[in-house]
Structure 1
Amino acid sequence: MTVTMQTTPEMELALLREGLEATIGSVRARLSSLAEGTAPPPFAVSKESALLRLASIFRLTEVEQELLILAVAVELDGATAAVVQALGGREVCDVSVAERLVGPAIWDALVPEAPLRRWRLLELGGAGPLWQRSLRADERIVHALLGTMYLDQRLEGMVRPVWADGVVSARERDLAERLTQAWRGVARPPVILLGGRDAAAKQALAAAAAARLGMGLYRVAAVDIPGDWAQRYALAIFLDRELALSSAAVLIEGAAGAFADLISGPTILAADDPDLPERQPVLRLDLAEADRRERRDLWQQALGPWGEAALLDRVAAQFALPPSAIRAAAAEVEPGMEPEALTGRLWQAARLQGRRALDGLADRIESRAGWRDLVLPEDQLSVLKDLAGHLRDAWVVNQEWGWEGKSPRGLGAAALFAGPSGTGKTLAAEVLAGELALDLYRIDLSQVVSKYIGETEKNLSRIFEAAEDGGAILLFDEADALFGKRSEVKDSHDRYANVEVSYLLQRMEAYSGLAILTTNQKGAVDTAFLRRLRYVLNFPFPDAAARAEIWARIFPDETPLDGVRPDALAALNIAGGAIRSIALNAAYLAAGAGEPVRMGHVLRAARREYTKLEKPFTSAEMGAFR
């Protein structure tokens, strides 16, 4: 009966170190023979030593292997260091002692382009003639020979490990398999150009492919690569060496084709549209964004049996989240939650994950308004509720009922809200956001529009791409400056102004969520632009009945009132925005006096508001306070 003993990592490490000790002993014996004036025995490398692996990786000759072990032995073995000092008169091993040991072949082994120095396995220390320079083994290489693996400290902060998390879509799995096949069993793995917008998904794909090949994966951001040539080259050498020592690949994120040319190990260039490096061969793979069905599968994977079918359909349709964000959102769900609590928790978690990319590009408006806060004619309210239904059921119509498969163009819900200031345009957007439990972002067009050609489109593209993840409602407030009558093209600037408007409308039409433009002057908007909007909603100046209704609803239930008469205050010929400002200021005046809000407080607040608006009180308006 044959018994096979299983080796443990501790046993393997002990064997490596025994092999290194035996190899160092061979060098020490050869040095001792030199000191005694006898013929040295042949250099022998233990079969258990990690030197054999390093020699294979870096293609070291026997002379180069002995030089490396000689330098390592001086660092680790006191007996060897003593023999070296006896031969050279110094505590370090200099080139003259090494030449006596290995002969004139040392000069070929120590040229800068030979493996020992090209890969920074050895460094020549000190100054003066070459024969007096010292041989120092690189610390990372010493530890590699000892069997200790870690990320080189010179790479920390710029190079980060990436771990496979197992949450990938079917499309990502297919691409990971193609990458695996391209790298498996080839002497020169091709550089992989990995295109696509979703950085997290590309990381997951690359990590999955590396794991299939039994490799690790490191990530480098192009923005962290030094601009100085010497520093950039040193980074490439240490990174390339680390890939070889750790059996890993590198994922370079951003425009860094020239840096990839300095690396020989397995390399992936990831960007929206990656640079084409000079290094060959090259394989281009493009990661298209996951569709609703793929996202639904990812949610089901992450949630397991706790995911309800109808809820997953809605969440997957509304939030175009990458796998890492889906996993993070799903982690908020606790096993055994009630269906209603599960729905609310999961929706809010997905919403929080989706807003991360957009928070730095636009101002998020916290929406607490409801339909009760909005006073509009019935026709306008009906259109708004239809718009809310459009957004709520978009996934059913577009995906389940096949409209997206027939033609994905023009399925967005672009809208124009037109009307005087203070008539409720922004409030209506808040109501929609609250009704649908979605984020609302206001975009300041003055910060988006640029005088430099192409910059406006880039700014808009970043906003819409970031908004897709969370399906947020985008509010382009006061768009009059951009959406004027189509100008006669007299020069390139006129032509480009029209291009900017057309580009924005195109992105609004293609956006899967709701994009709203507001304007105070609908008549200034070109009718050619209006035809491209799904909804055009007019917000009229409120009549007396509407103003009375606004006054009746404007104060919160908690605010104490005494004698405030909404019907009388309807005589104030102002819009809802001004009414809110007056009501809020009246509340502060009453609170300061320690009283409930009375008509006198409203009068004082109204006078201030009219002064701000440069609007005189009419006799009819003053009659409201008599």
Structure 2
Amino acid sequence: MDWLTANQRYLVAALDVLRLRLSGGDGLEDAARHRDDLRKAMPAPPALEDIEDGFELSDFERDLLLMCAGVALDTDFAHACAEAQNAPERTWATFGLGLAKLANPYWTALTPAGPLRRWHLVELTHPETPTVSALRIDERILHALTGVAYLDPRIQPLTVRLPEPGPLPVPLREAGEQVAAHWSRAESGCVLLYGRPVPDLRSAAVGACTEFHASPVCLRAADLPKAPEERDLLARLCERETVLNGTAWIIEVDDTVPDCSRLALDLADRLDVPTVVISREPIVGSGPRVEVGPARADDARAVWREALGPAAAGLSAWIDRVAGQFDLGLEAVDTAAAEALAAPEAGAALWDACRRLARPSLDGLAQGIEPRARWADLVLPDHQLRVLHELTAHVRHRVTVLEDWGFAARTGRGLGTAALFSGPSGTGKTLAAEVIAGELRLDLYRVDLSQVVSKYIGETEKNLRGVFDAAEAGGAVLLFDEADALFGKRSEVKDSHDRYANIEVGYLLQRIEAYRGLAVLTTNLKDTLDPAFLRRLRFAVHFPFPDASARAEIWRRAFPPETPTDGLDPAALAQLSVPGGTISTIALSAAYLAADSGEPVRMHHLLAAARTEYAKLERPLTTTEVTGWTTT
């Protein structure tokens, strides 16, 4: 006989014994003997015993619960209750009936603090008259007695779909084992788990539940009730599910929702069962903390090989690149792998899918720039170009050198790639960042530090955290303009704002040093920066104002091949003492003038455009700068 059938037969027999006890009819001993025989034959304890033990019910409390179940399941039992109360219309259980007919009765069995009502196993229709009020069993408990298991409908709408248990990367598996170990030691019902994208933390938490032999259920903290009494009811229902189904609770914090972490911690504090609160960022709360660090290179490669299956053998080089560049969750890895396997060029498709899935949401914090420029668009001295190529190599081979070749094990800091680009406006700082991003096939975002820095204490750090957290998964190229807004020299700390400004600088440097992508700081005034800060940056590239020969070369590259030109003289144009950015603006304006006149771009179009640009800059266009120009 299967357990479900045996359990239901046992429940019918137990109700029959209780009915005879209420009615005082014959056959009580035979009914009790039959019930006991059924119990001995069961393959596992009946649900009634599990509920009795799990909620620590006394015999009297158990029989009260069983009496309420009998009324709900059997009309004959309901009529027996009416007869026992000498009132044919009272076909329901009451506390007064239990006190009169059941063994070892006591008044406190039905107080709100007693297990029957604390765990909402039964409810009084009219609590103000507890002895005569109808006493009804909770529907979830009634079904549990019959052996039917499901999640309470009052909890179900708050839940999140969980991944199927399966092999986990080493960092996630180890984190899950740590959480389960805390639960086993009963150090605290709640463990705080953080440090990775929430989908990965869910997987680690599911791993903890598997290790602990518990059934996982994940709740969205953003949807938790705001009223304390409602959260307290939810906590009791959750604890009740743990008794009924061996459930462990995962509470998921959305860092973007105000007050979300407070609600999560409040619910966790009310629970005295295995609970883990997961969040991308660490939150302040009681209980053990487990941080999940970034995936090691070998672990990341193993995840990609698993996702790509047999095709992984031919994509080793691409796997090395994406494992080192992108920090994707398990779901995103599966999505990227599926897209790559469906494409003709699997390697390039894999990279592009990762880039799309990791693309950060930086609305309001940064400006996205489409990297279209190439190395041929840069006109710089040989030394600067060599350093920029070296900088690109550092980003491309970061994992090989730091992890595969062991350099990361030697130091815990300075593992990120950070650079300072200094020089006058228009000399190519942003263009160089665009070239590097294009070469690496990465997204480029410009962050204006003068806008990020806030006069309100703590806001700057919050803004910077938002930038890095959003960009971390894809290792985008971050271009921080106006670095002197935050890195200016500070001779002494005069007040709390100065002290906090130093904290903000330290926070930015800390995040830059740990960032898996490239962070570029730009400034027009390098001399205003504190040398102590500059020493912590790996590269410093000065973009000089271009001399005449450099300006001539920039003019030679100023127009796309498709642009019709006639009689342009780069040497003569180089007499304009302007940087490359201004040259590009003049060239574009001249192209519009030529198009409007239906002509190819000629020197007179450039002269007109130069006059307009100089007027905008409030500079005189000197005779020396246009001497020898042919303007026809």
Q: Give the TM-score, by structure 1 length.
A: 0.83
Q: Specify which of 62, 68, 71 is matched with residue 71 of structure 1.
A: 68
Query: Residue 350 of structure 2 corresponds to which residue in structure 1?
Result: 346
Following superposition, the deviation at residue 438 of structure 1 comes to 1.7
- Secondary structure (helix, strand or coil) at the match of 1:238 reads helix
More deviation, 470-479/68-77: 68-77
Instruction: Decide whether the 8 Å contact of 2:365 with 2:452 is kept in 1.
Output: no
Write the distance in 2 (CA, Å) between the matches of 1:290 and 1:508.
Answer: 18
| Change beyond 3 A, Cα 1:519–1:189 | closer
- The answer on 1:152 being equivalent to 2:152 is yes
Instruction: Decide whether the 8 Å contact of 1:417 with 1:536 is kept in 2.
Output: yes
Instruction: Decide whether the 8 Å contact of 1:438 with 1:473 is kept in 2.
Output: yes
Write the distance in 1 (CA, Å) between the matches of 2:609 and 2:166.
Answer: 61
**Equivalent pairs, count:** 602
Instruction: Decide whether the 8 Å contact of 2:183 with 2:189 is kept in 1.
Output: no
Query: Residue 117 of structure 2 corresponds to which residue in structure 1?
Result: 117
More deviation, 133-142/321-330: 321-330
Instruction: Decide whether the 8 Å contact of 2:47 with 2:144 is kept in 1.
Output: yes
- The answer on 1:303 being equivalent to 2:308 is yes
Spell out, residue by residue over 1:248-272, the C-alpha distance to the aligned partner (whole angstroms, 9 max, x if none).
2112345555533322222234455
| Change beyond 3 A, Cα 1:172–1:562 | closer
Query: Residue 250 of structure 2 corresponds to which residue in structure 1?
Result: 251
Following superposition, the deviation at residue 115 of structure 1 comes to 1.4
Query: Residue 338 of structure 2 corresponds to which residue in structure 1?
Result: 331
- Secondary structure (helix, strand or coil) at the match of 1:218 reads strand
Write the distance in 1 (CA, Å) between the matches of 2:147 and 2:592.
Answer: 73
Q: Specify which of 268, 274, 287 is matched with residue 276 of structure 2.
A: 268
Following superposition, the deviation at residue 518 of structure 1 comes to 0.7
| Change beyond 3 A, Cα 1:153–1:342 | same
Write the distance in 1 (CA, Å) between the matches of 2:101 and 2:524.
Answer: 89
Write the distance in 1 (CA, Å) between the matches of 2:593 and 2:114.
Answer: 84
Write the distance in 2 (CA, Å) between the matches of 1:493 and 1:274.
Answer: 25
- Please list every run of 5 or more consecutive structure 1 residues that lacks an aligned counterpart in the other structure: 1-6
- The answer on 1:434 being equivalent to 2:451 is no
Write the distance in 2 (CA, Å) between the matches of 1:547 and 1:129.
Answer: 95
Write the distance in 1 (CA, Å) between the matches of 2:326 and 2:79.
Answer: 69
Q: Specify which of 52, 64, 69 is matched with residue 55 of structure 1.
A: 52
- The answer on 1:292 being equivalent to 2:311 is no
Instruction: Decide whether the 8 Å contact of 1:191 with 1:283 is kept in 2.
Output: no
CA RMSD across the alignment: 3.7
Following superposition, the deviation at residue 230 of structure 1 comes to 1.0
Following superposition, the deviation at residue 516 of structure 1 comes to 0.7
Write the distance in 1 (CA, Å) between the matches of 2:439 and 2:101.
Answer: 83
Query: Residue 134 of structure 2 corresponds to which residue in structure 1?
Result: 134
Spell out, residue by residue over 1:314-343, the C-alpha distance to the aligned partner (whole angstroms, 9 max, x if none).
3322234444443443333318x77xx232
Write the distance in 1 (CA, Å) between the matches of 2:520 and 2:532.
Answer: 17
Write the distance in 1 (CA, Å) between the matches of 2:390 and 2:14.
Answer: 81
Query: Residue 400 of structure 2 corresponds to which residue in structure 1?
Result: 396
Amino acid at match of 1:428: A
Q: Specify which of 450, 455, 478 is matched with residue 482 of structure 2.
A: 478
| Change beyond 3 A, Cα 1:361–1:85 | farther
Instruction: Decide whether the 8 Å contact of 1:161 with 1:217 is kept in 2.
Output: no
Following superposition, the deviation at residue 477 of structure 1 comes to 0.9
More deviation, 610-619/433-442: 610-619
- Secondary structure (helix, strand or coil) at the match of 1:154 reads coil
Identity of aligned residues (%): 45
Write the distance in 2 (CA, Å) between the matches of 1:306 and 1:397.
Answer: 26
Amino acid at match of 1:58: F
- Please list every run of 5 or more consecutive structure 2 residues that lacks an aligned counterpart in the other structure: 254-260
Query: Residue 319 of structure 1 corresponds to which residue in structure 2?
Result: 326
Instruction: Decide whether the 8 Å contact of 1:182 with 1:189 is kept in 2.
Output: yes
Instruction: Decide whether the 8 Å contact of 1:164 with 1:208 is kept in 2.
Output: no
Write the distance in 2 (CA, Å) between the matches of 1:156 and 1:565.
Answer: 73
Instruction: Decide whether the 8 Å contact of 2:308 with 2:341 is kept in 1.
Output: no
Write the distance in 2 (CA, Å) between the matches of 1:103 and 1:589.
Answer: 103
Query: Residue 217 of structure 2 corresponds to which residue in structure 1?
Result: 218
Aligned 1:354-369 pairs, distance under 5 A: 354-356=358-360, 362-369=366-373
Q: Give the TM-score, by structure 2 length.
A: 0.82
Write the distance in 2 (CA, Å) between the matches of 1:462 and 1:543.
Answer: 40
Instruction: Decide whether the 8 Å contact of 2:79 with 2:88 is kept in 1.
Output: no
Write the distance in 2 (CA, Å) between the matches of 1:91 and 1:585.
Answer: 92
Instruction: Decide whether the 8 Å contact of 1:194 with 1:287 is kept in 2.
Output: no
More deviation, 54-63/573-582: 573-582
Amino acid at match of 1:293: D
Amino acid at match of 1:331: A
Query: Residue 525 of structure 1 corresponds to which residue in structure 2?
Result: 529
- Secondary structure (helix, strand or coil) at the match of 2:341 reads coil
Query: Residue 197 of structure 1 corresponds to which residue in structure 2?
Result: 195
